[in-house]
Amino acid sequence: MSGPTAPSAPKPEILAAFEAAKGFMPVDEGLALYAAAAEAAALGLPLVEVGTYCGRSTILLADAAREAGVMAVTVDHHRGSEEQQPGWDYHDPDVVDPEVGRMDTLPTFRRTLHAAGLEDQVIAVVGRSPQVAAVWQTPVGLVFIDGGHTDEHASADYEGWAPHVAPGGLLVIHDVFPDPVDEWTGQAPYRIYRRALESGAFTEISAHRSLRVLRRSGPDT
């Protein structure tokens, strides 16, 4: 790595945009995500997020990407995860498309990015994570997995995206709860975190609440 050191914390206006955005990530985890993104962006490769929702965490990846002159890519079908559907704790009726009768977080996401002044730093991919991963060809500096929380979805996110993390790049997983007492939609993120470590391809470098940051330290096995 060369050149000026990347800032490890977001500027106040970026943090304010993050706090104003709809979403679930608390500020302290956001700061840990930003620090990881800033470090990974120095590799000069894109940063990929799986699970855009309304763009709260995307703001942080996009700002870290902008500082390093790389792009952030965020993937979501924008129809919501299981726990965000009507009748579940994480449902928000404001993000239902009344004409279609299904969730659509894309308009809110676009407003979030516009308000943060980050539209030009983000490539938004509307699609299912495994299908996007299957056509993805470029090594990435960071993959942030924050998509569906069932075993089916979390496993597919891990299997589809972890192979794209470049040597020295970071795999960041959200909602890792080792203790079943803390689980709210299951422990699938914890299970893919364990898989990543047990594969021998990734080494944990930091943990902040439910956010785990792993570095690629070897080839996929």
Ligand X SMILES: C[S@@+](CC[C@H](N)C(=O)[O-])C[C@H]1O[C@@H](n2cnc3c(N)ncnc32)[C@H](O)[C@@H]1O
The binding track of 36-75 with respect to ligand X, each residue x by CB under 6 A or -, is ---------------xxx--xx-----------------x
Give, as one character, the DSSP assignment of residue 182. Answer: G
Q: Which is nearer to ligand X, 78 or 216 (CB)?
A: 78
Tokens coding 217: 């330290």
Q: Kindly state the smallest distance separating residue 138's Cβ from ligand X, in Å.
A: 19
Q: How far apart are CA 212 and CA 190, in angstroms?
A: 9
Q: How far apart are CA 13 and CA 8, in angstroms?
A: 15
Whether residue 164 contacts residue 143, with contact meaning beta carbons closer than 8 Å, is answered with yes
Q: Which is nearer to ligand X, 51 or 141 (CB)?
A: 51
Give, as one character, the DSSP assignment of residue 202. Answer: E
Interface segment toward ligand X; rule CB under 6 A; list 5-13, 63-71, 114-122, 143-151: 143-151
77 in contact with ligand X (CB under 6 A): yes
Q: Which of 46, 147, 160, 189 binds ligand X (CB under 6 A)?
A: 147
Is-catalytic flag, 149? Answer: yes
The binding track of 112-131 with respect to ligand X, each residue x by CB under 6 A or -, is ----------------xx--
Give Cα separations from 200 to 51, 102, 177, 188 (angstroms). 25, 41, 21, 19
Candidate list 77, 78, 149, 164, residue with the active-site label: 149
How many CA atoms does the CB half-sphere of 160 hold within 13 Å?
22
Catalytic residues: 149
